Amino acid sequence: MAFARLSSILAGAAGMAACLLMPLAVAHAQDGGGTLAKIKSSGSITFGYRESSFGFSYLDANLKPVGYSIDICNRIVEAVKTELKMPSVEVRYQAVTSANRIPLVANGTVDIECGSTTNLVERQKQVAFSPDIFRYNVRMLVKADSGIRSIADLQGKTVVTTTGTTSFRLLREADKGKNLEVTNLAGKDHTDSFLLVESGRAQAFVLDDILLAGQIANARNPKDFVITGESLRTENQSLMIRKDDPEFKALVDRVVGGMMKSGEMEKLYNRWFMSPIPPKSININYPLNAETKDAFANPSSKGI
């Protein structure tokens, strides 16, 4: 009995010691390696992708992730192979949503999120970002015959936003949105949110105007919808990586900045937003705006 009790005490003490040492071990592993070391060891990199951020990151007819953000990430992989002197690096894919993308990057499940994420200073407490790859305005999508043309017209209406986005908060913070009486619905992804407007369950869908344009381009009847209303905020979209990994961030920044300087980024932009794209050969037809031109001319990952 005494021996059993002593064994129990020793086991408990060992378990407590392991718990105390674990954070130190994790921190040491991160300090000693980071994403590049992880790629070198595993021979692979994991992309986080979105299923319906048309133009940026979505599934084609063969359910393969494609898009502007995916292509930029593929260019980063080429640089990783050169940096690590590896003939090949396997690309693995992990679907992410607006709700889980930050935790999946922060906990190491995803090495780089190739999606449609806004670089916010508040998010930089958990993750890091590439230089902005796109800048856009947050507006709303409505049915063309709805009569809704401004924030004030949303009084008494139902507004849908995608779970995990900042859209509804931005609407509430707008001067004309503070006293609105509206019902907020949450879509699980952007397509789900769009379908709530298409079906009449919601009268407006608030999101980045470029993502709204992608939803309209893929609709059964694109002419039935318009993007309207005041801009709630100009936001900046970036690739997302783990925090406190300066070596990998430096590589990402070098690749993205180099693509902008060489003109490769603008060519990639025109491929995905000004040309027919899979799976339906639809052209989103969203010309390069002044804000994104500035992002290409002056690469920055400072956030907003």
Q: Which residues pair with 205 in a beta bridge?
A: 141, 160
Kindly report each contact of residues 175-182 with a partner whose C-beta sits within 8 Å and lies 24 or more positions away, as own/partner: 176/150, 176/151, 176/152, 176/230, 177/151, 177/232, 180/151, 180/152, 180/154, 180/155, 181/155, 181/156, 182/154, 182/155, 182/156, 182/157, 182/158
Please state which CATH class domain 32-135+235-297 belongs to: alpha beta
pLDDT digits (tens, 9 = 90+) for 10-48: 334 433 333 333 333 333 334 457 999 999 999 999 999
Burial of 85 (0-12, 13-18, 19+ CB in 10 A): exposed
Q: How far apart are CA 97 and CA 100, in angstroms?
A: 5
Burial of 37 (0-12, 13-18, 19+ CB in 10 A): middle
Whole-model pTM above 0.75?
Answer: yes
**For the chain, domain boundaries:** 32-135+235-297, 137-234
The continuous run of DSSP H or E covering 73 comes out as helix 68-84
The continuous run of DSSP H or E covering 187 comes out as strand 183-187
Domains 32-135+235-297 and 137-234 agree in fold: yes
Q: 137-234 has which CATH code?
A: 3.40.190.10
**Residue 256 — pLDDT band, cuts 50, 70, 90?**
very high
Q: Which residues pair with 91 in a beta bridge?
A: 45
Least confident of 17-21, 99-103, 130-134, 200-204: 17-21
